[in-house]
Amino acid sequence: MKEYDDIPGTYVFDAERARQGYPLNRFCMSLMHEDNRKRFKADEAAYVGTFGLSEEQVDAVLSRSWNRMLALGGNVYFMAKLFFTDGRSVQFACAQMAGMTQDAYAQMMLSGGRSPDGNRYKREQSDG
Amino acid sequence: MAEVFAALTTSHVPAMGAAVDLGKTRDEYWRPVFEGYEFAKRWIAETRPDVVILVYNDHATALGLDVIPTFALGCGAEFEPADEGWGRRPVPMVKGDPELAAHIAQSLILDEFDLTLINRMDVDHGLTVPLSMVFGQPEAWPCKVIPLAVNVVQYPPPTGNRCLRLGHALRKAVASYDRDLRVMVWGTGGMSHQLQGPRAGLINSEFDARFMDLLIDAPEEAASIRHVDYLRESGSEGIELVMWLIARGALTPKVRAVRRFYHVPASNTAVGHLILENAI
Ligand SMILES: [Fe+2]
């Protein structure tokens, strides 16, 4: 148990996650180049298959399961290359990670963002 | 002699750079943000630094996958604005100061800060957005810029205390350079924000206000904030705030805050900005 494991809804990109996520993040990084974006779009599974991801990681990428990508070692600054390849914004992906519509998320930000109250410890959430 | 005479801190939200590049700074959404930097534009025109040491972090652009330096000093003559996957920002080339950077590198390493030195590196929004917020859209940036890149992406970043001490060492290093140069240190990133997971969108205005109070008047106390408290209170990306402590450490123990600005939101982030001057 790490001291930050009791923070709800948060995947800390520590050395262990970075190790696990290295192939996943390397795949994301490759999307910085237009040629690679084209190859990826032409055949997503074939392209991802060249980076040595685990089966779970491949599945998370192909299904755009952002939170699973985070849990499997993805980091948002790398994943952003995939958001942009999809023509999406960081805010679009954040809304999906938060399980909200993009409108509801944008409205929450305009009203001052998500409050830390009730969001500091996992136990606050399970207690209701 | 050279001297660090002021510090400036600011968020470096990429969407603020995009607002500049796309001419949206007067839109309803962006106007309050950019009005908040009008003072900085006047102030910088009056104070005219020769060199800015710009503390920022790379966001999986030039660093962050294969090589992850905790502190990396840009020693090159120039740094090209990076293509972060949607083309290079239409901003001027960043001109370094290799002579001063070499002096700082030598001074800091002998002062026991084991820096990484970088001669060639593209610089991402973390560095170019603060330049745009303060200088607007000039043909060329009006001063030299020495990038100081800090790892805040892969946990753990350096501690706040280490950052404050690095600022102290930076002040000494600049003061021992035997040319008359007016130097500023900028600390960028923050304020509270979280860009990942079900808790995405977290903003903690109380934490941010207290952080600014402490940074100005009780930097040692700000430096003692633990990583887990940044993560919990300011969001997983709010931990970028440790970089502000480097800028603060480069000033005298007592400072005058000549500007303080805060606004929520810019995209997913709380925008904070300070201008501090030596008060002795
Ligand atoms: Fe950043």
**What is the pLDDT confidence band of residue A128, given thresholds at 50, 70 and 90?**
very low
Q: Would you call A22 and B65 a contact, using CB atoms and an 8 Å cutoff?
A: yes
What's the number of domains chain A is made of? 1
| DSSP letter (8 states) at residue B140 | S
DSSP codes of every residue in A57-126: HHHHHHTT-HHHHHHTT--HHHHHHHHHHTT--HHHHHHHHTT--HHHHHHHHHTT-B-STT-S-HHHHH
Please, which pLDDT band fits residue A127 given cuts at 50, 70 and 90? low
Residue-wise pLDDT tens digits, A12-63? 999 999 999 999 999 999 999 999 999 999 999 999 999 999 999 999 999 9
For B72-83, the pLDDT digits (tens) are 999 999 999 999
Q: Are B49 and B143 in contact (CB under 8 A)?
A: yes
| Burial degree of A43 (CB within 10 A; 0-12, 13-18, 19+) | exposed
Q: How far is the CA of A53 from the centre of ligand 1 (A)?
A: 27
What is the residue range of A113's domain? 15-126
Is A84 part of a structural domain of the chain? yes
Residues pairing with B81 in the sheet: B123
Check pLDDT > 80 for residue B20: yes
**What is the pLDDT confidence band of residue B260, given thresholds at 50, 70 and 90?**
very high
Whether A5 is covered by a domain: the verdict is: no
Count of pairs with CB atoms under 8 A, one residue in A, one in B: 134
Residue A45 lies in a domain: yes
What are the domain boundaries of chain B? 3-264
Nearest to A97 among B156, B197, B228 (CB): B197
Interface test with A, best of B199, B207, B208, B234 (most A CBs within 10 A): B199
Q: What is the mean pLDDT of residues B111-135?
A: 98
Pick the CATH number of B3-264 from 3.40.1050.10, 3.30.428.10, 3.40.830.10, 3.40.50.1220: 3.40.830.10
Least Cα separation, residue B61 to chain A (angstroms) = 8
Phi and psi, residue A72, nearest 5° = -95, 15
| Residue A9 domain flag | no
Name the residue of chain B whose CA is nearest to A98's CA. B198
Nearest chain B CA: its distance from A42 CA (Å): 18
Give A94's contacts in chain B (Cβ within 8 Å). Answer: 195-196, 200-201, 268
Cα separation, A110 vs B29, whole angstroms? 9
Reported as type and span, the H/E element at residue B216 is: helix B205-217
Report pLDDT digits (tens) over B162-216: 999 999 999 999 999 999 999 999 999 999 999 999 999 999 999 999 999 999 9
Q: Is residue A116 part of a domain?
A: yes
- Express each pLDDT in A89-99 by its tens digit: 999 999 999 99
The answer to the question of residue A38 being in a domain is yes
- Predicted confidence (pLDDT) per residue in B49-100, tens digit: 999 999 999 999 999 899 999 999 999 999 999 999 878 999 999 999 999 9
In-domain check, residue A3 = no
Residues A85-110, mean pLDDT to the nearest whole number: 97
Give the Cα separation of B265 and B233 in Å (integer): 17
| Domain containing residue A55: CATH number | 1.10.700.10
